[in-house]
Structure 1
Amino acid sequence: MKLNGIIAYPITPFKADGQEVDFDALSISLNALLENQCDAIAPLGSAGEGAYLSWQEWQQVAQKSIEVVNHRVPVILGISELTTAMAIQKAKKAEELGADVIMVIPVSYWKLTDQEVYEYYQQIAASTKLPIMVYNNPATSGIDMSPELIVKMFQNIDNICMVKDSTGDIQRMHKFHELSNGQLPFYNGCNPLALEAFCAGASGWCTVAPNLLGNLPSQLYQAVQDADLVQAKALFYRQLPLLRFVVQYGLPKTVKAGLNELGFAVGKPRSPVQEASATERQQLKALMKLAIAN
């Protein structure tokens, strides 16, 4: 499967007490992302607080997301697990529920060797027929997979067919291209790198931005597709201050604050992550207004 364009990351809304998932709010926010011309939906990633959900909640959010999207675009389910066994359990459930792709990131307490990472993916891939997106984000996982390791897995493990890199290093993307002779589709997960990544040949932008910026990310992608660099730069710089802000202060906190500001009522992040402060909410509101008004 080849994905292109804007891959949107929904949050997982909680009710006021923070203890229960709000499935009605989840449906509303997913439909809003689809209305904003997103090309795929990726629940249960970093923004979706997948690591903070129980096994039962993970399954419920996955099932509800697949039902709401209803084949309108591909659904990519996020899997971030310390143990291979639990990652396999989620991969099997994702396939059973009807996901189109799984996005897998190994999470480390003990530092893993390249061989341990390779076997982690190899065993997950053997458990499912689903395509696998390798997700590299050392800031959250504690593991930094080299381009060489990722390309090796792409070339030797059948299901692995794409990579999302969130390091913010554009040279990584050049490496993916060079090492795979242009065969490995790569996706940008670093929001402030969106324009450079597209220009470097990224197949897509994995982003929370459509939650707060409507179809501006889609417009940026289209401008790049049209080879209209002047328009692409203008659209990118409108979004950049907000993109930097959400990365600096954390995705669940800022995106939920922004959605609440827009009237979506999605609750706050799950403890120990705290909600945005009054000052942060004011900054966010101003940045959203600036981007949308331009």
Structure 2
Amino acid sequence: MKLSGIISYPITPFSADERSINFDVLGETLERLLQNGSDAIAPLGSTGESAYLSLEEWRQVADFTVKTVSGRVPVIVGISELTTLQAISKARYAQSIGADAVMIIPVSYWKLTQKEIFNYYQEISESISLPIMVYNNPATSGIDMSPELLVQMFNEIDNVTMVKESSGDIQRMHKLYALSSGKLPFFNGSNPLALEALCAGASGWCTAAPNLIGKKPKALYQSVAAGQLDEAREIFYQQLPMLNFIVSGGIPKAIKAGLVLKGIAAGLPRRPLRGATVEEITLLQSLMDSQSQGVEEALISSYQTI
């Protein structure tokens, strides 16, 4: 399976008492992501508050997403576990329900050595036949995988076929390209770097932004792919204020608040995460309104408010 384009992250909407998942709203948001040009759907990442779900809830969301998407685009199920055995269990479940790939990030209490990280992915790979996207995000996982290690795993572990790089360092992407001679497909996971990453050869962009700004992420990808860089810059700068807000404000909180402003009962993040403040909601509404403004006006307005 060769992936490219926009890989979109759905939220996990909860009931008002946080004790269950609102599958009606989850279905609604999945349909919106598909309509907004998503080339793949990636449930159970940080946007989906995967770390705050029970195992049964994780399975329910994975199963519901695969069934709802129903083969229209690939589904890449997110897995983040401390132990190898727990990660293998989830990876096998994802395979059993028909997921197309898994996106795996190790999380750590004790600092892992490069050999321990390598073994983590190798043992998972040996337990499934699905493609594995290695997800590097040191800010959330506590583990920073070097480009050298990522390329080594791509070369030596059968099912490791792609990387999501979210360190926020564009040089990492340049190095992934150089070390693999352009053979390792890498995806941008840092929203404000979307234009630079795609121009640097990223196969696509993993983002929650289509929840709030519709087809603009896909338009950016298509413009870069077509070599229309002037158009790509214009599309990117229209999005940048919102992308900065999503990252700085906390992704689940920002996306859920924005969906509520759009009339979708997305609810609140699960505690201890908090919902958006009145000030944040006001700014978010302004940013959403500014999507129809000119690029310069949107940029000036947002940076004066932040």
Same fold (TM over 0.5): yes
| AA at the equivalent of 1:49 | E
Q: 2:95 is matched with which residue?
A: 95
Equivalent-residue separation in structure 2 for 1:293 and 1:260 (angstroms): 22
Residue type of the partner of 1:233?
Answer: R
Q: What amino acid is aligned across from residue 223 of structure 2 in structure 1?
A: A
Aligned with 1:274: secondary structure? coil
Alignment of 1:251-290 (within 5 A): 251-290=251-290
Residues in 2 aligned to 1:17 and 1:212: alpha-carbon distance in whole angstroms: 25
Measure the CA separation in 2 of the matches of 1:268 and 1:80. Answer: 22
Distance in 1 (alpha carbons) for counterparts of 2:279 and 2:68: 34
Gaps of 5+ in 2: 295-306
Q: How far, CA to CA, are the matches of 1:29 and 1:200 in structure 2?
A: 31
Please give the secondary structure, in 1, of the residue aligned with 2:284. Answer: helix
Distance 2:37 2:199 in 1: 21
Q: Which amino acid aligns with 1:33?
A: L
Q: CA RMSD in A?
A: 0.7
CA 1:129–1:23: 2 relative to 1, 3 Å? same
Asked if 1:108 is matched to 2:108, the reply is yes
CA deviations on 1:166-220 (whole Å, 9 max, x unpaired) are: 1111111111111111110000000000000000000000000000000011111
Q: Deviations over 1:119-166 (max 9, x none)?
A: 000111111000000000000000000000010000000000000001
Corresponding residue for residue 233 of structure 2: 233
- Runs of 4+ with deviation above 6 angstroms: none
Tell me by how many angstroms 1:45 deviates. 0.5
1:68 and 2:68 correspond:
yes
Equivalent residue number for residue 248 of structure 1: 248
1:183 partner letter: K
If asked which structure has higher relative contact order (CA below 8 Å, sep 6+), I would say 1
Distance in structure 1 (CA, Å) of the matches to 2:158 and 2:78: 19
Alignment of 1:31-180 (within 5 A): 31-180=31-180
SS in 1 for 2:291: helix
Alignment partners' CA distance in 2, 1:293 and 1:125: 47
Alignment check: 8 A CA contact 1:213 1:292 kept: no
1:291, distance to aligned residue in structure 2 (A): 1.8
Letter in 2 for 1:267: G
Rounded to whole Å, the distance in 1 between the matches of 2:137 and 2:40 is: 20
Give the match for residue 185 of structure 2.
185
Q: Write the distance in 2 (CA, Å) between the matches of 1:219 and 1:197.
A: 15
Moved more, 33-42 or 10-19: 10-19
Tell me how far 1:292 sits from its aligned partner. Answer: 3.9
- The CA deviation at 1:226 is 1.5
Verify: 1:10 aligned to 2:10, yes or no.
yes
Contact 1:165 1:186 in 2 (8 A): yes
TM-score (normalised: structure 1): 0.99
Return the offset for 1:293: 4.3
Task: Assess if the C-alpha contact under 8 Å between 1:153 and 1:160 holds in 2.
Answer: yes
- Structure 1: stretches of 5+ with no match in the other structure: none
Distance 2:7 2:293 in 1: 24
Q: Distance in 2 between matches of 1:198 and 1:225?
A: 8
1: CA distance, partners of 2:160 / 2:288: 36
